[in-house]
Amino acid sequence: MKENPKHIRISEYNYPLPDERIAKFPLPVRDQSKLLIYRHGEVSEDVFTSLPEYLPAGSLMIFNNTKVIQARLHFRKETGALIEVFCLEPIQPNDYVLNFQQTEHAAWLCMVGNLKKWKDGPLCREMTVKGFPITLTATRGECRGTSHWIDFRWDNPEVTFADILEVFGELPIPPYLNRDTEESDKETYQTVYSKIKGSVAAPTAGLHFTPRVLDALTEKGIDLEELTLHVGAGTFKPVKSEEIEGHEMHAEYISVSRSIIKKLIDHDACAIAVGTTSVRTLESLYHIGVTLANNPEATEEQLHVKQWQPYETECDVRPVVALQKILGYLDRHGMEALHTSTQIIIAPGYDYKIVKAMVTNFHQPQSTLLLLVSAFVKGNWHTIYDYALGHDFRFLSYGDSSLLIP
């Protein structure tokens, strides 16, 4: 049994990050960002367009194709109070695709801004969507932790919930940018390959990729594949507890096609992950495979990866075997894709199973993402971050990038 990281003190993962080092906007040409290269303990730098030069031909690179939704909805009460309703995850129906297709009613788990001004009764907003005048109402239901069940209703069956968000919603840029969303963010805060709607935050390592970089990777003989993890607002949730045992990871919805599982098996369960969301998904696959190795009849609910599961179960199943167990599960159920969720926390003490290299941005001090990076580089994150701070790298979502090869 490996060391359990529950007693890691988050204060040991702090570093000074002056506000001027946080990139408030992206560069005009996204692939001209700086690239820090960390290989076997050595640090150097280049420009992002050079990324293919550092990767071996024949390797498999995995991207997260989630698309950020315009999840912030603003309502004004008759009193003049502005209420913000921030859609986090669908409840009824709880499938993203089905929920976006709803034509009269949809329920979401939401965070509510200025909650104290919304005592009771529905909120209403008149709008025109696709040429149809509609009234959207939001009714508050039960409280779940820091979020609320919100029922949305509208009076035109020609209009879907996706249409409403597209016209009426605002893109939720990260809170630490300390600015309002601008029209340009609708394009720059999406990856060029985003397809599947559902995230409330971008998988930002992917923001550096352009068609020319993707073409160069393909020309190098690198296999490019996509999976989906819908990023929740919990990605910005600071660790408030002294030890990480007190931090509850948010569950995130993942979808991985049968063809990707096969491709991973063909590559001997080795992948280069673009972004921490791809990392979390790929490593979760291993632990889902372990669950199926131990219990072939596991239900979809039992495949959910719990926060501390990797540290509490014996993981002596080979990664390729774990992936074969998932393939067997999909075959038995006649499924083309694995749909489940993960709460995995990757922290020092974690033993990576599938991810052999990662492309990632520079993360906030005392964040779970910094723990994930530290686990990957065997605790050597200071070397990387000291270099980035000393060499004018830009930090966080719109900042520069790194390629980590432990």
Which is more confidently placed, 313 or 196? 196
Within 8 A by CB and 6+ apart from 71, the residues are 86, 87, 88, 165, 169, 170, 171, 172, 200
Q: Any idea what the Cα angle at residue 47 is, between residues 43 and 52, rounded to 5°?
A: 85
pLDDT of residue 315 exceeding 90, the answer is no
Give the fold, CATH level 3, of 5-67+186-404: QueA-like (3.40.1780)
For 276-300, what is the mean pLDDT?
96
Q: Which is it for strands 72-76 and 271-274: parallel, antiparallel or unpaired?
A: unpaired
Place of tokens 């149809």: 132
Q: What is the pLDDT of residue 163?
A: 95
> What digits encode the pLDDT tens for the residues 137-187?
999 999 988 899 999 999 999 999 999 999 999 999 998 899 999 999 999
Residue 1 has pLDDT above 70, yes or no: no
| Averaged pLDDT score across all residues of the chain | 95
Model pLDDT, residue 188: 96
Amino acid identity of 345? Answer: I
When pLDDT is cut at 50, 70 and 90, the band that residue 2 belongs to is low
Residues contacting residue 381 through CB under 8 Å, at least 6 positions apart: 13, 370, 373, 374
Reference 307, options 341, 334, 271, 339; nearest CA is 341
The percent of residues in the chain predicted with pLDDT above 70, rounded, is 99
Decide if 305 contacts 280 (C-beta within 8 A). no
Query: Does residue 120 have a pLDDT over 90?
Result: no
HSE on the CB side for 87, CA within 13 Å? 34
- φ, ψ for residue 294 (rounded to 5)? -85, -25
The two structure tokens encoding residue 136:
């959207």
Entry pTM: 0.94
Mean pLDDT across 260-278: 98
Q: How far apart are CA 5 and CA 151, in angstroms?
A: 39
Tell me the average pLDDT across 230-252: 87
| pLDDT interval class at 3 (50, 70, 90) | low
